[in-house]
A and B are shown apart, each in its own frame.
Chain A
Amino acid sequence: MEEVLFFGAAIGALGGAIGVVAMRNPLYGVLALIVHLFSLAVLFLLLSSAFVAAAQVVVYAGAVMVLYVFVVAYVGGDTESAWEPIPGQRFLAPLMGAALFVELAIAVLASSLLALGTDGPDVKAGFGDPAEIGRLLLERFLLPFEASSILLLLAAVGAVVLASRREVER
């Protein structure tokens, strides 16, 4: 059962990812990403982290993607031409991607960490539940939590600065 879910989700995630990279039209790219994100959420669930999965769906597939859609709609998602101005890039880029994957894969597979080969230890019930995560956020990770809020604020300000149509006073 688990295997089925994993492979299904994995294929979804990969498909989405490839879609993002391959789709000429940004809009389709966005949609592909949504697929990808949902599949990821499934994987998170499989990894018994319910809250993250939920957040994934809500924050990403919800808020962020909507933002994307708006912007694409605003600037007009015209498809980009296949013309490649940088010499060698078209040839090197995939090569580099492959290299990255191979190296990371080797790193993982050659790793002597025994735990990697397991499903992970048995965890007590509630592992990854909102309660647990919330406690961690407020105890151990209070500062990052607060800091990220400030970060969000700054990002918002930045977005306003950049995108708002302001009359510069001279």
Chain B
Amino acid sequence: MNIEWYVVLSSLLFAIGATGILIRRSPIVILLCLELMLNAGNLALVAFSRMVGNQEGQVFALIVMVVAACEVVVGLGLIVAIFRRKLPLDVDELRELRG
């Protein structure tokens, strides 16, 4: 199976994730979409690692998983904090800062 297929697939996933961030307003879903994008990156990494035949890419992918986890944790923490402040869980409602 050609590596091309994997990479193209990953780019498609990346695009989908990006689109999700652009159209979804719930911060949780946006976090999910970020996960999608990072995973797309991972897929690409692994695919390339296979292509060039060294495992650095895989290690990179693992590290990315950790990073992704961290972002999720922080993100969810923020969401909880916002929820605590009785603020709407909608990124479009949070636009006091502008101009």
Chain A interface residues (CB < 8 Å from chain B): 2-3, 6, 10, 13-14, 17-18, 20-21, 23, 26, 29-30, 33, 36-37, 40, 43-44, 46-49, 51-52, 55-56, 59-60, 63-64, 67-68, 71-72, 74-75, 77, 80, 85-86, 89-90, 92-94, 96-98, 100-101, 104-105, 108-109, 115-121, 123, 127-128, 132-133, 136-137, 140-141, 144-145, 148, 151-152, 154-156, 158-163, 165
Q: How far is the CB of B8 from chain A (nearest CB, A)?
A: 5
Total cross-chain contacts (CB, 8 A): 242
Those of B32-76 within 8 Å (CB) of chain A: 32-33, 35-36, 39, 42-43, 46-47, 49-53, 55-56, 58-59, 61-63, 65-74, 76
> Other than the known A47-B47, A68-B76, A159-B77, what 12 A-B pairs have Cβ atoms closer than 8 Å?
A17-B20, A20-B32, A33-B35, A43-B46, A49-B46, A49-B61, A67-B73, A75-B79, A75-B83, A120-B53, A144-B63, A162-B77
A109 to B7, CA, bound (A): 10
- Asked whether B24 lies within 8 Å of A80 as measured between CB atoms, the reply is yes
